[in-house]
Structure 1
Amino acid sequence: MSSPRHAIACIAPRIPIAQMRSVFSVAEVERKLAKLPEREHESLRGTYQRMLEKGPQRFQVKPSGLPAMNELYEDLPNFHPVLDDVRRQIALCEDSGDALEITPLLLLGPPGVGKTHFARQLAQLLGTGMGFVSMSSMTAGWILSGASSQWKGARPGKVFEALVDGDYANPVMVVDEIDKAGAEAAYDPLGSLYSLLEHDTAGSFTDEFAEVAVDASQVIWVATANDARGIPDPILNRVNVYEIEAPDFEAARRIALRLYQGLRAQHDWGRRFDEEPSDAVLERMAELAPREMRRAWMTAFGNAKLAQRGTVLCEDLPEAGGKRGPMGFIQ
């Protein structure tokens, strides 16, 4: 057994266990490479050569024991049911040789409640990597599954890249705003998920560019959406669905405090500021969505520094809604 270099000791008291898992067949790649005509399909040739150079073995990580998740429960007070689910599934494999299996998660909720932040924290907790696909900005249906090498400018899909170019066999893969994936007439952008979200069929997922099967059965899927009505039933039937609400006032206040403390600790300039902000400042921050809080704190820190203060005041915070003052010429 060996330990991956990205283990996060500050969250888990013990370094995650890593065993090695093969994510593709070297023999299959060698056969594909040998069949390529010379001086043709250079991009595909480069992909096969890169696969052979790196080899098929990737870290398959899991915590060495049930992690101390108290920090996540504090940081993500509106995600407790999801964290409970993750904790249960970690408990099943903690004292066995089994791999970690987390049922695909769908997080439903309004923008800014921390859905994507949760996915990043989950990857950090497990000590694995993370891939991100934004369905709202997707311009082609093949971004997940790759496009045929016959097409100009074709390239592998995000799943293939995460497994072949990454270090892990079980990365967290985030499909952001899955409800905004509009199906095209010729291609359903969510079509590949039907097999990827099923453990058995994901074990031999074939990217359309490389045409080599990869083992995506260990990928940990987290999808986010504002509304479930735009999501096809075959997807909903394959995931655990959680309604994520905005944190209440007290929870938002705790999130704001932890963000202040985290930003202060992460930067050398943080030592110039008070260990905690005032109650009045925290109450103002609690009115913001979690996604907006970090930007607001950075603005406040900057304004306080310009005023040569080590204390953040309410006047340092941006206006509600991020509004700017009127612009114009001085009369």
Structure 2
Amino acid sequence: MSTIPFIEARFFDPKEDRIELETRFMRHLRKLRCRRIPPDLPAPPDEIDAPGEIPDTDLMGIIRFSDDDEARIKRRVNRIIERRKAASGLEHLKRDDRERLEVLKDGARLVQISSEHRADEIAAGLHGDMSWMAPATEVVWRAMRRSVREGWPGLRVPPLLLDGPPGIGKSHWARRLGQLLSTTTSVIEATGENASFGIVGSQRGWGGSHPGRLIETILQSRIANPVMVVDEVEKAGRATSTNGHAFGLAEALLPLLEPLTARRWSCPYYQVKFDMSWVIWVLTSNDYRLLPEPLLSRCPPIRLRHLTLAELQAFVRREGAKRNLSETSIEAICEILSHPSLRQHRPSLRVAARMLQRAADLEQGPTLH
């Protein structure tokens, strides 16, 4: 993995506090005064041999600081500290928040694709697991190859809007993508979040203000291109402040989906700029027509179809083998899914996943006597 600058802030060595700076200025002034000592007087010891110790000549009264010297040193140290605070860009934060952001002082890592051959392998694995998601897999495949071909420091994928009927595994495909890329994946249910606050966070001054899932994910993993999944984005609500100002999810996502603005995205909670241009966004919807046009212009919808019964049964057999389920359990699930009573319903990956989990719980549970 390569590392890129991620936060627009400066972090200074915590060891260089006020006492350390004052001591450094005193040593420097002492060296300057020592040059004026008459040659017949004893010279101060080498500070390399006795670091941090006051020279004997100082104790003997040959070199002594006046009150004016100490005042000048303190004034200079105060100016340095004030300028450091202004240059850090973090002075408005509490100490706990500053310490939290310090993990990004050396930058954030980027997940890379080592070669075009590796990109082909990842795309083939994704397509083999969920062939009905081929239109989305193709977009990612081309992005992976382009990242390698153009020599980018990490993988960059354009924002994806997966639009299709419910139960076809759109969010499951996004999770699988994160696994194959070996990057962090975070799934946000748009229907369960308080508008945009769950993703980007809320501004200080709002009741219960907090950082969003986006910056929290990166702080925990220190990876600048995680997979961020927003499920059922068209069903997100809108938050309204006490003064009547409404703020929706689509408006919050717009600057993050545009590379130029995402490169210097300002976090509402920390009020610090971060480089979010590498984040891999996967939005899912059941009806893209409910989304605003500015969002659709940044994320052209990728239309997806229903999966067939044969594709669903093949998925059950692959997933069942990965979970070490018995052949009997796997075939029983396939038989249930093909029962005539279910023919009036479309095959659902969500139902099949619940059956697989139930079968795994039964097979791995304790024996009842």
TM bucket normalised to smaller: 0.7 to 0.9
Map 1:170-189 → 2, pairs under 5 A: 170-184=225-239, 186=245, 187-189=247-249
Residue 324 (structure 1) aligns with: none
User: Residues 300 and 156 from structure 1, CA distance in 2 versus in 1: closer, same or farther, beyond 3 angstroms?
Assistant: closer
Residue of 91, 94, 100 corresponding to 1:34: 91
Deviations 1:178-210 (A, max 9, x none): 101123452223212111100111000001110
CA contact (8 A) 1:204 1:214 kept: yes
RMSD: 2.6
2:245 equivalent to 1:151: no
Distance 2:305 2:214 in 1: 29
CA contact (8 A) 1:33 1:45 kept: no
Q: Are 1:233 and 2:293 counterparts?
A: yes
> Separation in 1 of the partners of 2:203 and 2:175?
31
Report what 2:189 is aligned to.
134
> Alignment partner of 1:131: what SS?
strand
> Paired residue for 2:145?
91
3-state SS of 1:165 partner: helix
Offset of 1:274 from its aligned partner? 3.6
Which structure shows the higher helix fraction? 2
**Residue identity matched to 2:91:** A
Deviations along 1:58-90, whole A, 9 cap, x unmatched?
111122122413332121121011111111111
Of 253, 265, 272, 1:205 maps to 265
Aligned length: 276
Letter in 1 for 2:137: L
Distance (whole Å) between structure 2 residues aligned to residue 132 and residue 251 of structure 1: 25
- Among candidates 163, 183, 195, match of residue 255 of structure 2: 195
Identical-pair percentage: 28
Compute the displacement of 1:281 (Å): 4.7
8 Å CA contact 2:266, 2:274 repeated in 1: yes
Q: Specify the alignment match of 1:52 in structure 2.
A: 102
Unaligned runs of 5+ in 2: 13-84
- Equivalent position to 1:248, from 308, 320, 326: 308
Partners of 1:136 and 1:145 lie apart in 2 by: 15
Distance (whole Å) between structure 2 residues aligned to residue 275 and residue 70 of structure 1: 29
Q: Please list every run of at least 4 consecutive aligned residues from structure 1 whose deviation after the TM superposition is greater than 6 angstroms.
A: 304-308
Q: Deviations over 1:6-61 (max 9, x none)?
A: xxxxxxxxxxxx1101210232896344355xxxxxxx431221112452421111
1:247 shift after superposition:
0.9
Query: Which residue number in structure 2 is paired with residue 289 of structure 1?
Result: 348
- Distance (whole Å) between structure 2 residues aligned to residue 285 and residue 191 of structure 1: 41
1:294 deviates by 2.5
Instruction: Give the counterpart of 1:81 among 117, 132, 135.
Output: 135
Equivalents in 2 of 1:49, 1:174: separation in Å?
Answer: 28
Match status 1:221 vs 2:281: yes
1:154-201, Cα deviation, whole Å (9 max, x unpaired): 111222222333321111111111101123452223212111100111
Pair member with larger Rg: 2
Q: Does 1:24 align with 2:79?
A: no
Distance 1:138 1:121 in 2: 23
Cα distance change, pair 227–28 in 1 and its aligned pair in 2 (3 A) = farther
- Which position in structure 2 is the counterpart of 1:4? none
Distance 2:355 2:184 in 1: 28
In 2, the alpha carbon distance for the partners of 1:113 and 1:235 equals 23
